[in-house]
Structure 1
Amino acid sequence: MSDAASVESGPIPGVAGRTPAAGSAPVPGAASGERPGATGSGGDPVPGSAPEATGPADGPVPGPAPEATRPADGPAPGTAAAVVHTGLTLVVLSPNDPMTRGQLRRMAELARGEGHEVRWEEARGGATAPFHTVGGLAPLLRRAKRIVMGDPFSRYVQLLLTITRARDLVVVDDGTATMEFVAQLARGERLVRWHRRGGRRGPRDLVFGPVSASARRRLTPGSGRRVEVFSSMPINETPDGVHVTANDFSWTRARFGPPRLTKGADLVGTSLVETGVVDPDRYLDAVKGLTKTYGATRYFAHRRESTDKLHRLAVETGLEIVRPDLPLELIARRGPIGRTILSFPSTVVHTLPLALAGTEVRVAVFDIDPAWLTATASPRAQGFLSGVTGTARDVHRLSAVTTAI
């Protein structure tokens, strides 16, 4: 997701029962999922924490007015009667992607409704924007004793990590990248997103190399430095000294739903075509097969899916394309949602069963056929995607989609 982080003077989001010392602050750099101060395709702040998209700030600086209406089941965010300020300031390092920005606006609105201050930074709004953003956050980062961040692969986050002297670092992320991040940290490898591994390093990678290496050292426990990972994802390869706290989506279940269920099936989209992993024609054929075989009627698009691809899916499959304005876990909890949710390997096969626990919804996942991969896909793509599916709990693993076409 977008980069984000949060500044705290109260309990740490997602870390129950712990209160940070005065001046602690989580770092900008968001990820997706149920993490305090972040937004994504699966996100659930714990009670008292903020939705995902947070970042340090020098004080209660309100963000811009939200662009969407408030959720139906909650107090009006930003009203004096509904909000009691908690002392936590969330900073969003806004991305350029319109869909991601829209979701972050809605999550910022939810954060205000929970009593948090939100500061919106146009961190990518031109050539000078990074200098203004980093310069404005630097004083707080230097004072902070605790940093809570989202996406540790983000170059923005890695840059900000070189500024802080905090000895307590918390990564909050429910995305599949969390599994790769922890594994790379355990093996002492450079931090590279799984779908980019195996490719040649470009000029920007080489220039940014020292910053990335410094961030990896900062995220390695030692010399009085504490590192924690808060996630719902399965973590099997934990580095020495890294503390892992499981996110069970209890805040989401308590705050939203239970949902009204429809008779049909819903299909969850993926951005594997956009990241160059899966061939677009193969993906379209797979969606056609799922729609016909399982009676899917709606397609919940990933925020990074292209408009052209979604138009083609709508025309050739007859599916209703839904562009969620909130992470899917919140959309599903609020309903209406299908009794069966069909998905390819992605974050939601781990997060939706937790968010929908206690309902009659069945989450079904299909493996990616190796024949669908592009010639430029990372050599690790098939193994990584199979691992995402194989480690998912409480999902129905169905036969390859090729049998349904």
Structure 2
Amino acid sequence: MNKLIYLDNAATTKTAQEAVDAMLPYFTEYYGNASSIYSLGAESKKAMTEAREEIAGSIGASAQEIYFTAGGSESDNWALVATAEAYESKGKHIITSKIEHHAILHTCEYLEKRGFSITYIDVDENGVLKLDELKKAIRPDTILISVMFANNEIGTIQPIKEIGEIAREHGILFHTDAVQAYGHVQTRVDELPIDMMSASGHKINGPKGIGFLYIRKGVKIRSFVHGGAQERSRRAGTENIPGIVGLAAAVKKNFANMEERNRKETELRDYLIERIEKEIPYCRLNGHRTDRLPNNVNFSFQFIEGESLLIMLDMKGICASSGSACTSGSLDPSHVLLAIGLPHEIAHGSLRMTLSEENTKEEIDFVADELKGIVERLRSMSPLYEDFIKKEEKKHVQ
């Protein structure tokens, strides 16, 4: 197959043409500062207001509860740091999970250095948060629970409703990193007990460098960027109008056909999982089999290194990853795979493939065929695999 097959949509997505078309006028025609009082600035402000309403509607929020940011990492940092600062007189204890994105984990490390206490809750072998541990971890000084909506590596969807209800019952704020979930599953805050939620544009065919933080009305957290009065004095800086408009266009397109897109992606996902499990021995599907993002496929293959696998797939025109794009340069095994109980040697042989509605069954068959051959080739060069096969043969002889 002489074309690129892109299976790394959890890392980033292609910007939708609708988003590009919506953005273009705000670079050269309606380029006024939204804080200005003249008509050129008013056009920018009007576009931003309409975009905010579109995005708010997609999650069942009010427009006043949507705050634009530079993306998911900023939104996560804001939710944790500003909450910690605002509520530290009440307590300095925060609860999160062991499989969060590093935007959460590294922010928690930063807060620990500032005197806050962080509890990291375990997950089960499918990556689902252990609710009993969560309940036991709550203390009188707990001020925030932050658990991701769906995991960026293994695709497992968390029991967000139950987590939010536990937080509400104890008067604790609940934040969820929904960067991977938003636009792929329903994340309606009018139906779920969520106080704050992070999302990012480039995960849903919007532009890079734009995202938002939902902050429920009544939640008193501090400003994150200081300066002007933008974003109701909570996040200073001239607004990224082209990015905001592009995000809203992507949201509109995304939510209009989410159900149909999810159906197609789920069918392709399950087909790829079935082929791999049937045709490639000594592999393990990572993440919950059904409660997972519709486009996520994550496998660990014994006796091979994930990096070699990615390089050989790339030579065939297939783009995939071994985990989070933010840690692709790291030689350490995924903290997510270790948290679900995989030993280091198996976690090193992981592969994440995240589909889009543009992928076809023909492409998936090509990927499965090539993957089967590549795994066989890499294992043929592995002394560990050779020893394993010899031991297995001896067992059968005996």
Q: Which has the higher contact order (CA 8 A, sep 6+)?
A: 2
